[in-house]
Amino acid sequence: MSARWEAPPSFDVFIQQRHRALLRFALVLSGDPLLAEDLVQDALEHVGMRWWLIRRRDDPEGYIRRTITNRFLNNRRARRREDIVDEVPDQASVDPVPRDEALWRQLAGLPRHQRAVLVLRFFEDMTEAQVAEVLGCSVGAVKTSGSRGLAKLRAVYSQEVPK
């Protein structure tokens, strides 16, 4: 008989309270609802086994967001998950976020690091120092990536706006 791991109650509570926000974060970061679900699931699997240690930190959610971001940037997942079903559900499992399709296309066209910086800075409303901590880089690298990403978005939008 094999041992079965069960999540501690504090991890269950955390997931119940923050799962939707983590999915929304991963969706904005990746632009793909299925990839967002995979990123969150992979991060929670990774964190769940270490929850007893991670919850002692000042910011366990920050640790999970960093895990999601790193997995997005590296784009290496141990396995791809697929759910085989007889019928396609009427509705996606991730709540659709109202969005500007042109902006999403432009955001998706940015290099991954620039996109991650912009999502963390402006969607998650993090400071440059917080973004640097999540991405494991310097504040200068965050400023450079953010500036370049914004410049690319501005260039596209300045061309599209009628004068």
Residue 139 in any domain: the answer is yes
Q: Report if pTM > 0.85.
A: no
Residue 139 structural domain: 98-163
**C-alpha distance across the termini of the chain, in Å:** 71
Residue 113: CB atoms within 10 A of its CB come to: 19
CA–CA–CA angle 94, 97, 100 (5° rounding): 140
Q: Are residues 68 and 103 in the same domain?
A: no
Structure tokens, 57: 């930190």
For residue 141, what is the domain's CATH number? 1.10.10.10
Rounded Cα distance between 116 and 149, Å, is 10
Q: What is the pLDDT of residues 89-135, one digit of tens each?
A: 666 555 555 667 777 888 888 998 999 999 999 888 889 999 998 88
Number of continuous H segments (helices) and E segments (strands) in the chain:
8, 0
Q: What is the pLDDT of residues 46-96, one digit of tens each?
A: 888 888 788 777 778 888 998 999 889 886 444 344 556 667 666 655 555
Q: Are residues 102 and 72 in the same domain?
A: no
For residue 28, what is the domain's CATH number? 1.10.1740
Q: For tokens 């974060």, what's the residue?
A: 25
Higher pLDDT, 142 or 157: 142
**How many structural domains comprise the chain?**
2
Which one-letter DSSP state was computed for residue 97?
P
Residues 6+ away with beta carbon under 8 Å from 93: 33, 37
Residue 87 in any domain: the answer is no
31: left (phi over 0), alpha (psi -120 to 50) or beta: left
Structure tokens, 50: 């270490």
Q: Are residues 72 and 1 in the same domain?
A: yes
Residue 93 in any domain: the answer is no
